[in-house]
Amino acid sequence: MLDIKQIVAKSIHNQLPDLDYQQIYENLEYPPNVDMGDVALPCFKLSKLLRKAPMQIAQELASGIPPSEFFEKVEAVSGYLNFFVNRPRFMEEVLNRIIDQHEKYGASDIGKSRNIVIDYSAPNIAKPFHVGHLRSTAIGNSLRRIFEFMGYNCIGINYLGDWGTQFGKLIVAYNLWGSRQAVEEKGINELMRLYVKFHQEAEKDPTLEDEARSWFARMENGDSQALELWQWFKDISLKEFKKVYDLMGVDFDYYTGESFYNDKTDAVVEELKQKGLLEESQGALIVNLEEYGMPPCMILKKDGSTLYATRDIAAAIHRKKEYDFHKCIYVTGASQSLHFQQWFKIIELMGYGWAKELIHVPFGIVSLGGEKLATRTGKVVLLEDILSEAIKKTLEIIESKNPDLENKEEIARYMGVGAVIFSDLHSNRIKDVSFSWDEILNFDGETGPYVQYTHARACSVIRKAGETEADKKAFNSQLLQTKEEYLLCKLLYEFPEKIELALSQLEPSIITRYLVDLAQGFNRFYHEHSILVDNQELRNARLALVRATKITLANGLKLIGLKPLERV
């Protein structure tokens, strides 16, 4: 595989063998403008080490590096050592590699034989699947795809919020103000109504909170009436959730919620006791984390019921035994960061060396008009409503622009849902998001439909070309002489680096923004230059560039959970 940074680093290392090769490699940069070079080494950091001025170092290196088949020239400018690639050679290498590797372009086997557990989405049972859950679902699904593309064996787990005092609240509300008929007819919307009503009534009658805790204690103690209602609520909720997951093209290996670990928490409590980590505090049992700069972490309430931390510790221990994970990744909101820091530290204090393999991937909060989403007050925007509205708008656009398109309802679904997912993944995940119907349904500019449309445009060019297999293999890179052609090829070359960066930073937005850049690069090339020209050699060369773009766009779209469309 061609790695121009590697070739540059070796050239420099041959001149300065006392310098660490890896350090040279990591200090190399891509200049902001290709007129300044393709790869550059800033020599300022070397100045102190070599006791020379940066300009002198750059000049001496430039004069000492021998000619190469990969570089047209090497220049020293203002303390930078700039390498200019042999463009025809570079483009031939890049385009052939992409076309040969096809759906594997950008992939790797660095994760071979390593298990990655990814815990994502995790909606709460009996509460609607709202826009706030979009982030965990989209980010987690993309990370899973990226890890799998890099050779890891991924286990996707939906850690449902299906245990806790909120179910005691729901049972109380159902018994007081609900009916089986209403729940059967209205499903999760009725459960949400009951949950909101409980909090409204509990403000007037605080004894309802005690009653809710009592019902949850009955659940934990195996009460059949309580568990029967809980299971019913859970079945109704999962049916609703799966409708949304099907729309988004998201799936999981396991739906193992908090309740799955309920019978495993006693062993955790006992182990914490044996290891001298538990303290009593006002009747509850805690782990004191003051010396680590954190508040105490409660393990058991004074009534003996468990908490999130108890179940999370039990889940992590079970997952390590079950999957022997290389990493266990939790995709949840940044507001839960302290919670994860606390119980990660407890796992470490329990003597488990794999505590360092537990990773929290936080993301910013989703607000509605500047206000935090809250199920208990009913202030939510349902994710299914957003997806349906996006599909509807997309279909309207297709009807106006291309009414004879085959399978237009299916294409509208892929584009509409893709618009919502792409919008969510376009920003850095830690950035807070204020939900806006206008923004999420705006398909102009840097959007998912724009990238999908660009992929379809490349497919259209290839269809019109009516190529033979021989045409696909034969092209003369010497004929690709324009700046737009080279810049597009350079973008294509960067795809594997972007995936590695997204993997190391656990940041899907790196792929999303790259796809916008690539689509823009292709469209500049498309508008500036005719592709299906009479000159067969030039036509074949430009078609190689189109094919490579199509392949790379498709691979990138799949990594963020979008469908590459061939016609729109």
Contacts of residue 385, Cβ cutoff 8 Å, sequence gap at least 6: none
Q: Is 339 marked active-site? A: no
Choose the catalytic residue: 5, 133, 490, 550: 133
Res 439 pLDDT > 80? no
Whether the Cβ atoms of residue 274 and residue 323 lie closer than 8 Å to each other: no
Distance CA 53, CA 436 (A): 53
Res 466 pLDDT > 70? yes
Distance CA 272, CA 350 (A): 7
Region 158-174: mean pLDDT is 92
Among candidate residues 422, 451, 426, 469, the one with its CA nearest the CA of residue 549: 451
Q: What letter would DSSP give residue 67?
A: P
Region 245-270: mean pLDDT is 93
Would you state the structure tokens that stand for residue 43, as one six-digit string?
């020599």
Handedness of CA 467, 472, 476, 477 (dihedral sign): positive
- Please give the pLDDT value at position 547: 96
Choose the catalytic residue: 45, 102, 104, 130: 130
Most confident of 23-37, 67-81, 141-155, 466-480: 141-155
Long-range contacts made by residues 227-233, C-beta under 8 angstroms, separation at least 24? 229/171, 229/174, 230/162, 230/167, 230/171, 230/259, 232/183, 233/125, 233/126, 233/167, 233/170, 233/191
Whether the Cβ atoms of residue 528 and residue 487 lie closer than 8 Å to each other: no
Q: Is 127 marked active-site? A: yes
Region 432-445: mean pLDDT is 72
Choose the catalytic residue: 127, 234, 550, 563: 127
- Please give the pLDDT value at position 486: 96
Supply the pTM of this predicted model: 0.92
Domains and CATH numbers, the chain: 4-85 (3.30.1360.70), 115-258+312-377 (3.40.50.620), 383-559 (1.10.730.10)
Res 367 pLDDT > 80? no
Instruction: Encode pLDDT of 83-112 as tens digits.
Output: 999 999 999 999 999 999 999 999 999 999
Res 475 pLDDT > 80? yes
